[in-house]
Amino acid sequence: MAGGGNGVAPMPVCVADGPPPPEMTYVPNYFAAAWHKDASDAWIVSGYSDEDRAWRAALMACNRVMGSGCTIAARGANGAVAIAMGVEGDLYASTEATRDKAEKDVMKYCQEQNDECVEVRWASATAAHVEVGTQVRDDPSYYGPKGDPHRLWGAIAWADAGPASTSPLASNVWVVGGRASRDKALADALALCQADVKTGCATRLVVSDVFLAVTNGDGILGGVASAGSPELAKKRALDQCRKSYKKCKVTQMLDLREGMARRFDPVAGDKR
């Protein structure tokens, strides 16, 4: 009892009579991301109490699909990783303390490389809070491609035939998509154009796993632009077109992952 006085009665005092609470500690949660030069996505693992086991698991997940040649894109503990894709299909990675910071950092890095990105994948790893002396086991989580992640290439060619007034096909573009390699996309786009144009063709863009927007500017070809999403491709194409023309509109939006071989007339809007 606490002593009373000055008109205050004695008060009971509580005293713990059980065991003290257990001492707690934080256990690191290691994560890692792996990628491959021929893949359009990344493989991320988390939930490992050992850094080496985390990056080995990420490489194993990647190599299981790609065969060999995977490398570590990012790794860390108690944080987050974000993967983004640029306008030609290149991948970028960043790690930070939180998802929000990782997403902002990868976009900033993308811009520093003179690229524009869309997010492909992210994952976070939170440290475990356990009782001291507890045996900690790995609790892996996996984040990765659900379908075939091999890059699919597309290319755009058009005629080197001078002003539109001297060539009826000068405002056309020839597009191929869904090719297994960069060289195949390049060769097929040139061959498609050369089948129609005898005066010469040139390839202007070779990309993978992105969308392509074709614009009409004041009644003629306004240009083309690619990006990792239809929205960004449209914005980039219109921004480019408006630098040279007053009236611009997107006449074609293509997913270059799809197998195709077509000629587009941005004026008539036809294709074959």
* 170 and 118 assigned to the same domain: no
Last residue of a domain, one of 117, 143, 169: 143
What pTM does this model have? 0.84
Statement to judge: residues 105 and 216 lie in one domain: no
If one counts the domains in the chain, the total is: 2
- Asked if residue 158 and residue 256 are part of one domain, the reply reads yes
Burial class of residue 26 (count of CB atoms within 10 Å of its CB; 0-12, 13-18, 19+):
exposed
Query: For residue 266, what pLDDT is reported?
Result: 62
State residue 189's pLDDT score.
95
Lowest mean pLDDT among 122-126, 136-140, 188-192, 257-261: 136-140
Residue 158: what pLDDT? Answer: 86
Q: Are 225 and 256 part of one and the same domain?
A: yes
Residue 184 lies in a domain: yes
Tell me which residue range forms the domain holding 204: 153-264
| pLDDT of the residue at 23 | 79
Residue 129 scores a pLDDT above 50: yes
If asked whether residues 58 and 164 sit together in one domain, one would say: no
Let me know whether 52 and 161 are in one domain: no
Burial 66-94 (b: 16+ CB within 10 A, else e): beeebebbbbbbbbbbbbbbbbebbbbbb
**Domain assignment of residue 189, yes or no:** yes
- Between 54 and 128, the higher pLDDT residue: 54
Instruction: State the average pLDDT over residues 9-38.
Output: 82
Task: Kindly indicate the confidence band of residue 235, based on its pLDDT and cuts at 50, 70 and 90.
Answer: very high
In this prediction, what percent of the chain has a pLDDT beyond 90? Answer: 66
Question: Does residue 96 surpass a pLDDT of 60?
Answer: yes
Q: Is 85 a member of any domain?
A: yes
Predicted pLDDT of residue 165: 40
pLDDT at 1: 66
Residue after which a domain boundary falls, among 143, 169, 191: 143
Cβ atoms of 156 and 189 closer than 8 Å = yes
Residue 87 lies in a domain: yes
pLDDT over 90 (residue 43): yes
Mean pLDDT of the chain: 89
Within a domain: residue 61?
yes
User: Are 163 and 117 in the same domain?
Assistant: no
Residue 8 lies in a domain: no
Residue 170 and residue 247 in one domain? yes
Q: Tell me, what's the pLDDT at 167? A: 59
- The verdict on 161 and 234 lying in the same domain is yes
- Is 215 inside a domain boundary? yes
Task: Say how far apart CA 120 and CA 85 lie, in whole Å.
Answer: 6
18 domain-assigned: no
Q: 9-13, 31-35, 40-44, 64-68 — which is least confidently predicted?
A: 9-13
Please choose, from the candidates 140, 148, 146, 147, the residue with its C-alpha nearest in 3D space to the C-alpha of residue 123.
140
pLDDT surpasses 50 at 163: no
Q: For position 268, what pLDDT does the model report?
A: 59
User: How does residue 15 score in pLDDT terms, banded at 50, 70 and 90?
Assistant: low
- Does residue 272 surpass a pLDDT of 50? no
254 shares a domain with 219: yes
Chosen domain end from 143, 169, 190: 143
